[in-house]
Chains A and B, each alone.
Chain A
């Protein structure tokens, strides 16, 4: 079918809602999203890391089951707080490898394991000094190292006074806790403090700012990040451990399988998604203000809520679920729902707000 009246359809399409959007609209929406969603998300992460740091210090002072349980709970809370913000790849989190330092994952070559063994063997306390530790190998700096130290083997016995290397192990735990809270603080400060605060770059975009020349660029960047993260949830966090069949499953490809947090962090990823759209402010508000935008906004909330329901149906820990045929079906249904979520963002949402969300990247041909 050839449309002869191409010129007219173009004119009509161009005259559609996007015409009403000025760069100031995007800038205002992105500013509101930054203030209402992104910065509070990082502040939550900072608080979680402070709690974790305290609990690790306490564990070392008095290693018993109660202090270990508290440290484990703070670890889980920090992993979840990070997962809520994991989709954001730009801004202060991208500087000085902060994202990798919080969570170096996936780790197909067991870099965390090897680096951790190396550090534990050398017992070089000078290397734990904060400045040096911050520039040491990323594998030992963050959550995956804690996933092993707190959950692998008999974590409590390893910290006992008669265990070899227990004192160093404690200092390493403290160094990781301190490092995580420092990195989280730097991210918050990067967004909010000083003349070059990232928030002020969002508030006043400029052609001279190559990364964020306009409000629309900033919005496109955030939404592209969300799309990429949604597919990463599917490909890296689900499909990789699922493998092609129960027999070919790779349970150890699951994120945080040692601590059993694989499903919890996926749930937190969804919470981050929902926070971006559920509050009805910022970009979500801009969407709702477009003709029929409310319909799309409602679809997106419904889609993420449905995803949370499907995820809730995976009742076994993910590294066990991948070997269970019924649980695999549930995981596959969840994976399909993630694609629907992605398609809503890169389709109707991107169209309503006139944002370019990876066109060729998503083609698959």
Chain B
């Protein structure tokens, strides 16, 4: 395990202070940027835009720890969701580096940390929890009307977390994690088996199309994060809900509508390297590369689109994953504030930059 260099603090302060006063630099606008939740070591939470070399472009305060992000198509708007159980989602303008508005959670609902846009960016769908019934719901918000909450419908499961939209534009996939706030309050380990599933719904009719569950012996695994491959598979990244995870259990599978889940191949070094915990999944469709991060195992597992294992790369506290627009290259963010480029071929993750002020939270999207 290699601890990467932490930049000199004075340099960082100088850089940070400079960016405060000049706002976004002209140079930054020309470079690929990524949006991520983050926190400073002193415990300030923010949503930050970072360029591909790890320099912070802008940062906006969050009232608490953020989590997932959603980019609105055809617009410079993006959302940052509060970490589950979240009481707000922040809409930001990524060109201006400004807050547009804040969406409060509806009464007796909390955000689960993820959402996405449908209908060309007109509507926002979020995963939420009904705090009275302890059931998952989708919140429907009209992005054209200041994100007014116009409807909700069931996710048909408990503890919905990440969600994805098939290329047909109508089929929504949700990872019902099977764990809700009550489970969190009991600390997890006293639980009987949880009830996690992968549910396909038509968001327009709100009807369930298909439900996928794991074999009974893996009923403790929580399906949490999703990605889609070019070939039409859903990649599901799992977490073992037990405090002492079984290190031999698989933590990721592929699924295609109408089929059975297919476990990803045992990664290089064994499933144990992921310490029972995947934090994110991503796909580089250009090169057919699947990645799952394990900040607990301090590594990133890589597979090809058929689910065959490639490499497992060591990155301390790495979690956020994003495609880069360069085929075969994914970007990884870490809890130490670093960005790494990884490929399916080169043996070592290459450090692109570190900022030393902000530690990157679980997720990152390209803006």
Contact = CB atoms under 8 A, between A and B. Distances in A.
Contact of B61 (A6, A214, A236, A361): A6
Interface of A: 1-3, 6-7, 9-11, 13-14, 16, 18-19, 21-23, 89-90, 108, 207, 210-214, 216-217, 220-221, 234-236, 239-240, 244, 336, 347, 350-351, 354-356, 358-361, 363-365
B267 interface: no
B350 interface: no
Contacts of A363: 279, 295, 319, 361-362
Contacts of A365: 67, 83-84, 113, 161, 224, 362
A7 B41 contact: no
Contact of B244 (A10, A16, A217, A239): A239
Contacts of A244: 189-190
B189 A220 contact: no
A99 to B, nearest CB: 13
* Chain B contact patch, size range: 35 or more
Nearest to A361: B295
B41 A23 contact: no
B324 interface: no
A220 B316 CA distance: 12
Interface in B29-50: 39-44, 46
Contact of A217 (B6, B317, B335, B360): B6
B336 to A, nearest CB: 5
A356 B360 CA distance: 11
A359 B2 contact: no
Contact of B41 (A18, A108, A358): A18
Contacts of A347: 43
Interface in B328-348: 334-337
14 contacts: A6-B60, A10-B44, A14-B357, A108-B247, A221-B3, A355-B41, A356-B6, A356-B359, A358-B317, A359-B317, A359-B359, A360-B334, A360-B360, A365-B161
A10 B20 contact: yes
Contacts of A336: 187
Contacts of B317: 356, 358-361
A236 B39 contact: no
Nearest to B184: A364
Nearest to B319: A360
A89 B2 CA distance: 12
Interface stretch (B9-17, B124-132, B205-213, B284-292): B9-17
Contacts of B20: 7, 10-11
B40 A13 contact: yes
Contacts of B40: 10, 13
Given A1-B63, A210-B2, A217-B3, A13 B42 contact: yes
Given A18-B41, A210-B2, A217-B3, A358 B335 contact: yes
